Amino acid sequence: MSVWRRLNLEGRAGLVLLLALVLMALLAPWIVPGDPLAIVGEPLARPFASQAHWLGTDRLGRDVLSELLYGTRTTLLVAFFSAAAALVIGSLVGTLAGFLGGIADAVLMRITEAFQTVPGFLLALATISVTGPSVPTLILAISLGTWTQAARVTRAEVLSLRERDFVAAARTLGMRPLEIAFREILPNAFGPAASLAAISVAAAILIEAALSFLGFGDPNRVTWGSMIAEGRTVLRAAPYLSIVPGLALVVTVLSVHLIGRGLSRSERFLQP
DSSP for 232-254 reads: HTTTTT-THHHHHHHHHHHHHHH
- The number of angstroms, rounded, from the C-alpha of 262 to the middle of its chain's C-alpha atoms is 18
- Summarised one tens digit per residue, pLDDT across range 184-232 is 888 887 777 777 888 888 889 999 999 999 888 888 888 999 999 988 8
Count of C-beta atoms within a 10 Å radius of residue 268: 8
- Using CA atoms, how far apart are residues 223 and 106, in angstroms rounded to an integer? 40
The dihedral through the CA atoms of 121, 123, 125, 128 has a sign that is negative
Q: What is the DSSP letter of 183?
A: I
Q: What is the pTM of this model?
A: 0.85
62-66: list long-range contacts, CB under 8 Å, 24+ apart: 62/36, 62/37, 62/38, 63/32, 63/36, 64/227, 64/240, 64/241, 64/244, 65/32, 66/28, 66/32, 66/34, 66/36, 66/40, 66/222
CA gap 227, 218 in Å, rounded: 13
How far, in Å, CA of 237 to CA of 104, rounded?
59
Please list the alpha-helical segments (H only) found in 44-196: 64-100, 102-116, 120-131, 135-144, 148-161, 165-172, 177-179, 186-194
| pLDDT tens string 137-188 | 999 999 988 899 889 988 988 888 887 888 888 787 778 878 888 888 888 8
pLDDT tens digits for 93-124?
A: 999 998 888 898 899 999 999 998 888 888 89
Predicted confidence band of residue 269 (pLDDT cuts 50, 70, 90):
very low
**Domain architecture of the chain: domains with CATH:** 16-23+74-97+111-155+190-270 (1.10.3720.10)
Residues in the chain: 272
Taken in order 107, 108, 111, 116, the sign of the CA dihedral is negative
- Among residues 97, 93, 76, which one has the least CA distance to residue 22? 76
DSSP summary character for residue 163? T
